[in-house]
Amino acid sequence: MRTTPLVGKKAWFGPRKHGWGLSPSSPEGWVVTGVALGVGVWLARRFPDRPGLGRVPGIALVAASILKGTAPGGPKAFARLHGPAQLDT
């Protein structure tokens, strides 16, 4: 399991507690997620005749999670990365 991001030293996204994949694990990850959601909603409302534009922030969010995240995984990967004590919280 990759425990460091591809770019930089601090991981913004890590394994999910429930399910499988990545979720924000730092304040920077939450900011990137919120900005991508906000920009996606704004683009969809501003340019309703161009629905493809609303996908651009989602694609950027996926790219950021790949570059600034650890390997995806579920509860077992989360426990290996953060320790089993944090899995219950």
Instruction: Say which DSSP state 50 is in.
Output: -
> Per-residue pLDDT for 53 more than 90?
no
Other CB atoms closer than 10 Å to residue 47's CB: what's the count? 12
Query: If you average pLDDT over residues 3-32, what whole number do you get?
Result: 87
pTM of the model: 0.77
Query: If you average pLDDT over residues 3-21, what whole number do you get?
Result: 84
The two three-digit tokens of residue 71, written as one number = 């390997």
- The percentage of the chain sitting over the pLDDT mark of 90, rounded to a whole number, equals 34
| pLDDT confidence band for 74 (50 / 70 / 90) | confident
> Per-residue pLDDT for 75 more than 70?
yes
